[in-house]
Amino acid sequence: MNHRVDYNRRNYADPMVLSVVIPTFNRADILKECLAALLKQDLPAQDFEVIVVDDGSTDETKKVLEKYAAKHRNFRFFNQKNQGQGIARNLGIEHAKGNIIVLIGDDIIVKENFLSEHLRYHLRHAKENEAVLGLTLWHPRLHVTPFMKWLTNGSSVFGRFGGHQFAYEKLEDKEEADYNFFYTSNISLKRMLLDKYPFDPSFSGYGWEDIELGYRLHLREKLRLYYNKEAIGYHDHVMTEASLADRMRNIGKSAWVFHKRYPELGKVPGTFKKIMFKILSFGLFIKVFKFLSRDFYYYSLSKKYFLEGLAEGSEVK
């Protein structure tokens, strides 16, 4: 398939069309696979670049990046002290040359038509406030545990609630998604939009810095997020129940940052909702749910850790 198209007819005047921006931290092994897949795309190499921002890694990441930079003209990398993935992405976007910025994680292994599928949708939706969400799936080689299934099902509890990783099942048969689906594991936006609206540096680590930007773009630019399930990236990262505590505590702390900016969203639960979460996450109930329903068990456990992060965040808000 020939992907050489006249980008100028859609106002993509710069010869560099796409810039893929990847923050990374101490994941040298999987980063190698991530980069190898990107450099096998069915788009010509002169039409895209890959930019990696090393967020203060202490493993072999630097050697990996230097090796790729020496071999590939469309690959660049930058270093910063450890400040979090949002700030790392801002640095990468600042140095990007493409008219379209593609954001992925360092543990995402993309299909060969990944970039051409993002580009295809941008050619159809060329306005500045039009963005593209791709589909992220667990890598086929992984054994997907019940916990991992729960993480990627936002409808497992009462058909409305569930895990906090992805909720693609809610987009079935839909062409557009709202700001809650601003997944930086697989999303692309016009460069001009991200120049005006960088990631908020108030968010550190993992904890809604992506959703905050999505909501900000929704408010200020009426963001339209088109869903292309053919732009596939495979998430190659085994996740266990042990990782839930840090993840949800970070979200709890970030809820205060979110609430300060957008109280209308109720990210910090009110009294009644907080009481319900406390009841749901009571030790005895957690034990009962573990016996009766894994989905309810993981959900109640997530609320326990969320409340702990919320309490910790209230002390420093």
Q: Is the pLDDT of residue 100 over 90?
A: yes
CA-CA distance, 185 to 107, in Å (whole number)?
Answer: 9
CA atoms in the 13 A half-sphere facing the CB of 206: 15
CA-CA distance, 121 to 215, in Å (whole number)?
Answer: 21
Least confident of 85-99, 120-134, 212-226, 276-290: 276-290
CA-CA distance, 115 to 232, in Å (whole number)?
Answer: 9
103-107-108-112 Cα dihedral, nearest 10 degrees: 110
Question: At 130, phi and psi to the nearest 5?
Answer: -105, 125
Q: Is the pLDDT of residue 12 over 60?
A: no
Name the band, by pLDDT with cuts 50, 70 and 90, for residue 7: very low
What is the mean predicted confidence (pLDDT) over 87-106?
Answer: 96
Higher confidence at residue 261 or residue 313?
Answer: 261
CA-CA distance, 131 to 224, in Å (whole number)?
Answer: 6
Q: Are strands 224-235 and 75-80 parallel, antiparallel or unpaired?
A: unpaired
Q: Is the pLDDT of residue 160 over 90?
A: no
84 three-state secondary structure: coil
Least confident of 61-65, 98-102, 310-314: 310-314
- Residue 23 has a pLDDT of 97
- Residue 285 has a pLDDT of 83
- Residue 3 has a pLDDT of 38
- Residue 183 has a pLDDT of 97
- Residue 206 has a pLDDT of 63
| Cβ contact 297:290 at 8 Å | yes
Residues present in the chain in total: 317
Which residues in the chain are classed under CATH 3.90.550.10?
Answer: 7-137+166-235
Q: Is the pLDDT of residue 39 over 70?
A: yes
Mean pLDDT value across the chain? 91
Tens of pLDDT, residue by residue over 184-199, are 999 999 999 999 999 9
What is the mean predicted confidence (pLDDT) over 226-233?
Answer: 98
**Alpha-carbon distance values, 205 to 143, 168, 224, 250, 253 (Å):** 27, 23, 26, 8, 11
CA-CA distance, 279 to 286, in Å (whole number)?
Answer: 10
- Residue 317 has a pLDDT of 55
Six token digits for residue 315: 């002390």
- Residue 10 has a pLDDT of 38
Name the band, by pLDDT with cuts 50, 70 and 90, for residue 294: very high
Which runs of consecutive H residues, i.e. helices, occur in the chain?
Answer: 28-38, 61-71, 85-95, 114-124, 146-151, 191-196, 209-221, 244-261, 271-280, 283-292, 294-314
What is the mean predicted confidence (pLDDT) over 30-46?
Answer: 96
| Cβ contact 65:77 at 8 Å | yes
- Residue 311 has a pLDDT of 93
Q: Is the pLDDT of residue 16 over 80?
A: no
Q: Is the pLDDT of residue 313 over 50?
A: yes
What is the mean predicted confidence (pLDDT) over 136-146?
Answer: 97
Q: Is the pLDDT of residue 205 over 90?
A: no
Query: In terms of CATH architecture, what is 7-137+166-235?
Result: Alpha-Beta Complex (3.90)
